[in-house]
Amino acid sequence: MIDKTYQPSQVEGRIYQAWEKAGAFRAGRPERAGAKPYSIVIPPPNVTGSLHMGHALNSTLQDILARFERMRGRDVLWQPGTDHAGIATQMVVERQLMERQQPGRRKMGRAEFLKRVWAWKEESGGTIINQLKRLGASCDWSRERFTMDEGLSRAVLKVFVDLYREGLIYKDKRLVNWDPKLLTAISDLEVVQVETRGHLWHLRYPLEGKTFDPADPSTFIVVATTRPETMLGDTAVAVHPDDERYKKLVGQNVILPLVGRKIPIIADDYSDPEKGSGAVKITPAHDFNDFEVGKRHNLPQVNVLTVEAKITFADEAFAGQGGADFAETKKLEGTDRFAARKQIVARLEEKSLIDKIEPHGHVVPHGDRSNVVIEPFLTDQWYVNARELAKPAIAAVRDGKTTFIPKNWETTYFNWMENIQPWCISRQLWWGHQIPAWYGPDGKVFVALTETEAQAAAEKHYGKATPLTRDEDVLDTWFSSALWPFSTLGWPDRTPELSRFYPTSALVTGFDIIFFWVARMMMMGLYFMKEVPFQDVYIHRLVRDASGAKMSKSKGNVVDPLGVIDQYGADALRFTLARNVAPGHDIRLGPPDVENNRNFATKLWNAARFAEMNEAASVAGFDPKAAKETLNRWIAHETAKAAREITEAIESYKFSEAAGAAYRFVWNIYCDWYLELAKPVLLGADGAAKTETRAMMCWARDEILKILHPFMPFITEELWGVTAKRDALLAVSQWPKLEGLADDKADAEIGWVIDLVTAIRSVRAEMNINANIPLVLAGGSAASKTAERWAEFIKRLARVSEISSATSAPQGSVQLVVRGEVAALPLKGVIDLAAERARLDKEMAKADADIKRVDAKLSNEKFVANAKEEIVEEEKEKREEAAARKAKIAEALERLKGV
């Protein structure tokens, strides 16, 4: 017995357990040994995170693909796992320590802190996995991996060591994006540019050998800056070589105010005469462009900031610096950069060294995690030669070995890859993969898989056993994620899984991590596996709230997928996401959408109940091709059509088309027409027809459960189980392969019935007729024969009292033209003749318009000459149809006159 209502919360858990118990999601099931493999790796969520709508969308789409291909018989691996998320996780644990007023990480030390992080990972690591299960994700959980588990860590070390040995990883001292709050370097991608309204300070730098006079511009040069505090580290002033204003100053020196250092005026193309004053201060240690200028001109790099972005004078450039001015300046030691900015500006102002201050809008780099202003900072870091690794990654996409869907993301990919910069991979954090590099007493570096190997190398190098210290830094989280498609399959070991499931079939991910993740997987996959990591990359966008706003904790508009699942069921959420996903667009998610799809689930449930109440049950071995009843042949035809449509849509990643087609088929074809038309049969006396209809009803229902299963796995599995004794779970049953069911005759006949019923209903509603009314088929004997066959159906669905035929429509009746036949409703006295005439006039006008439009085309010689033959043929048919229709309407109007 099917329950009266479907209650997702009471079903979903049980169903998921059944899948797991049956091992339905396991890759490499023996019976599929000969099957083609299909694999997807999940974008690993943060291990200590929880499921948000983005995950829900991402996972739903992957699950649709995984379940679809599984049902199509492929050996499916949906590889799950989680990411250690270096900075994010470390920040969470540090915040916890603070909240609990426990000692900070530095105080407790690395080992103890890491113990805490692992404890937190153990505690919360299962959350998101369970949440993915609640969504219905059919991952092979037996293969779950974690980026810091033993195997993956081994892969990370090997990749680092191999790339180092090939010269593709190297250590370099250059400017990095330094986060003064998190006290670590970060990569370019982790920097966000924030529009800021600031100021442009124009500073006067006195020329050497002249007495500074604020009233005499020949005694100084003006430089403009947005960061006055960096002036302490200036080592030159640059002007454009062609700038006539400054040409004669090149080669002279200025005396750096507040410091007293003598610095040269140099000529460099970098200086833009249009910007600021045309002369620019050069601070190689604190600006990326200046760093390059400094290298070209061999300028010293004077650092004036500590790692915490406080002023420091530790740089040797300040060592010999004397003078009262500098003595005063030295008091800034330890002052925060922004406080120092104010003080420096005030002092310059006192000395008339500020030329002017302009308001200035510009973008300022911020750390994406810390949200503080990033400082370009001169440090030793590890880099990956991304330019080199990008080459094959670019070629692979160009050659179509990997395809993006939608295709235009490839442009974005190329743009970035072709301008890729060295990837800074070292982080001054503790949570992550510690870099396998050891240093000798003289700073000599030994990179090796293990400390023992490093020791051995050191001994060889120094000629004796030498103590080494390990590099303290860890690797960027994305370094390990970049290996995900092969590290999860057991690499560097040559596992059977690796050869079977790599390259993976599809990757489904958000556009926001194309650079962070997709590009880097391409680089690493191609380098280490010599093959692309995935064939297709399906890129989706954001899930927004109902009003189109980005969901964010601070705005408080975050819709929790678990809450939606609790309220409406996982299927409703999944179906909503699938129906609304459109390539190139964000999704708006509002409660009405989810409700609508919950209603759809209810509809499906009740359709199944209907069959059960009519004693219909699946018939083993039932062959839809053998059906005799037109109605049944029709629904078989429609089912095959829908299945084909849905199959093709999923194959081409058109999720919303697939879901939409399923929705329309189930609701508007199967429920609205087939079940309604079946009612008279089920209540009738024809035993054979009844038997066949019952069987067909359940056959079609079973096909429906299959085609809906990738989208709505829970309710379909539940109905599958509850409607019949089955050999296997729906999740591992066979996807419909329906051939030989097309039936144009049945299609035409049922189409006529549907049109007739619809036309009658329309008239009834328009004319407000509640009572059952008679129907007269006029003219065509074919029509009356068809009507005779379908009399009961028409009577029931259109609420017709009796059906008769006549040579022409009775006087004063409403006359409908249905596919060229006239159907009359003798309603003399009931209807308003004027209204009926008006209705017919309107129809007539439409027919005339149709004819006119087609005639315009057909009488156009160029159209007939240029248009495709079948188009011209179509137009001619339209012409005929419209003309015939017009004639019938004209007759109808004529008959009306006689009343």
Partner RNA sequence: GGGCGCGUAGCUCAGCGGAAGAGCACCUCCUUGACAUGGAGGGGGUCACAGGUUCGAUCCCUGUCGCGCCCACCA
Minimal distance, residue 349 CB to RNA, in Å: 18
- Piece in contact with RNA (CB under 7 A), picked from 24-32, 314-322, 654-662, 808-816: 654-662
Q: Which CB, 172 or 472, lies closer to RNA?
A: 172
* Chosen residue from 453, 545, 792, 850 binding RNA by CB under 7 A: 850
The rounded distance, in Å, linking the Cα atoms of 768 and 778 is 24
3-class DSSP assignment, residue 34 = coil
Q: Which CB, 72 or 286, lies closer to RNA?
A: 286
Minimal distance, residue 759 CB to RNA, in Å: 8
Does 376 bind RNA (CB under 7 A)? Our answer is yes
Token reading at 873: 């043929």
Q: Which CB, 26 or 199, lies closer to RNA?
A: 199
Does 667 bind RNA (CB under 7 A)? Our answer is yes
The rounded distance, in Å, linking the Cα atoms of 309 and 376 is 10
97 burial level (CB within 10 Å; 0-12, 13-18, 19+) = middle
CB contact burial 830-859 (16+ within 10 A = b; e otherwise):
ebeeeebeebbeebbeebeebbeebeebbe
Residues 27 and 104 sit within 8 Å (Cβ to Cβ): no
3-class DSSP assignment, residue 305 = strand
- The span from the first CA to the last CA of the chain, in angstroms, equals 57
List residues bridging with 364 in a β-sheet. Answer: 194
* Chosen residue from 675, 681, 689, 825 binding RNA by CB under 7 A: 675
Would you give the binding string for RNA spanning residues 595-624, x where CB under 7 A is met?
A: xx-xx-xxx--xx-xx--x-----------
Q: What does the chain come to in residues? A: 899
Residues 738 and 644 sit within 8 Å (Cβ to Cβ): yes
- Piece in contact with RNA (CB under 7 A), picked from 59-67, 91-99, 469-477, 765-773: 765-773
Distances in Å between the alpha carbon of 187 and those of 182, 191, 196, 377? 13, 7, 21, 12
Minimal distance, residue 581 CB to RNA, in Å: 9
The rounded distance, in Å, linking the Cα atoms of 451 and 465 is 13
The rounded distance, in Å, linking the Cα atoms of 824 and 899 is 15
DSSP 449-485: SSHHHHHHHHHHHHSS----EE---EE-HHHHHTTHH
- Piece in contact with RNA (CB under 7 A), picked from 10-18, 168-176, 274-282, 886-894: 274-282
354-367 vs 191-206, strand pairing mode: antiparallel
Cβ-based neighbour number of residue 114 at 10 Å: 18
Does 245 bind RNA (CB under 7 A)? Our answer is no
Q: Which CB, 283 or 488, lies closer to RNA?
A: 283
Q: Which of residues 100-129 bind RNA (CB under 7 A)?
A: none
- Piece in contact with RNA (CB under 7 A), picked from 60-68, 134-142, 665-673, 733-741: 665-673
Does 360 bind RNA (CB under 7 A)? Our answer is yes
Minimal distance, residue 66 CB to RNA, in Å: 24
**At what angle are helices 53-71 and 655-664 packed, to 10 degrees?**
70
Q: Which of residues 169-208 bind RNA (CB under 7 A)?
A: 188-189, 192-193, 198, 200
* Chosen residue from 166, 333, 766, 832 binding RNA by CB under 7 A: 766
Does 272 bind RNA (CB under 7 A)? Our answer is yes
Q: Which of residues 286-305 bind RNA (CB under 7 A)?
A: 287-289
Does 365 bind RNA (CB under 7 A)? Our answer is yes
Minimal distance, residue 675 CB to RNA, in Å: 4
Does 364 bind RNA (CB under 7 A)? Our answer is yes
Size of the site for RNA (CB under 7 A): 94
Q: Which CB, 29 or 603, lies closer to RNA?
A: 603
Q: Which of residues 384-413 bind RNA (CB under 7 A)?
A: 408, 411-412
Q: Which of residues 460-499 bind RNA (CB under 7 A)?
A: none
List residues bridging with 825 in a β-sheet. Answer: 814
- Piece in contact with RNA (CB under 7 A), picked from 210-218, 670-678, 771-779, 804-812: 670-678
Minimal distance, residue 140 CB to RNA, in Å: 33
Q: Which CB, 550 or 828, lies closer to RNA?
A: 550
* Chosen residue from 515, 528, 653, 790 binding RNA by CB under 7 A: 515
Q: Which CB, 223 or 508, lies closer to RNA?
A: 223
417 burial level (CB within 10 Å; 0-12, 13-18, 19+) = buried
The rounded distance, in Å, linking the Cα atoms of 122 and 116 is 10
Does 9 bind RNA (CB under 7 A)? Our answer is no
Q: Which CB, 158 or 588, lies closer to RNA?
A: 588
Does 226 bind RNA (CB under 7 A)? Our answer is yes
Between the CA atoms of 32, 34, 36 and 39, what dihedral angle is there, to the nearest 10 degrees? 50
3-class DSSP assignment, residue 156 = helix
- Piece in contact with RNA (CB under 7 A), picked from 298-306, 525-533, 645-653, 667-675: 667-675
Minimal distance, residue 841 CB to RNA, in Å: 14
Q: Which of residues 540-579 bind RNA (CB under 7 A)?
A: 548
Does 715 bind RNA (CB under 7 A)? Our answer is no
- Piece in contact with RNA (CB under 7 A), picked from 45-53, 468-476, 711-719, 755-763: 755-763
Does 57 bind RNA (CB under 7 A)? Our answer is no
Residues 212 and 256 sit within 8 Å (Cβ to Cβ): no
Helix/strand number for the chain, H first, E second:
30, 29
Minimal distance, residue 865 CB to RNA, in Å: 7
Residue with tokens 């149709």: 850
Does 792 bind RNA (CB under 7 A)? Our answer is no
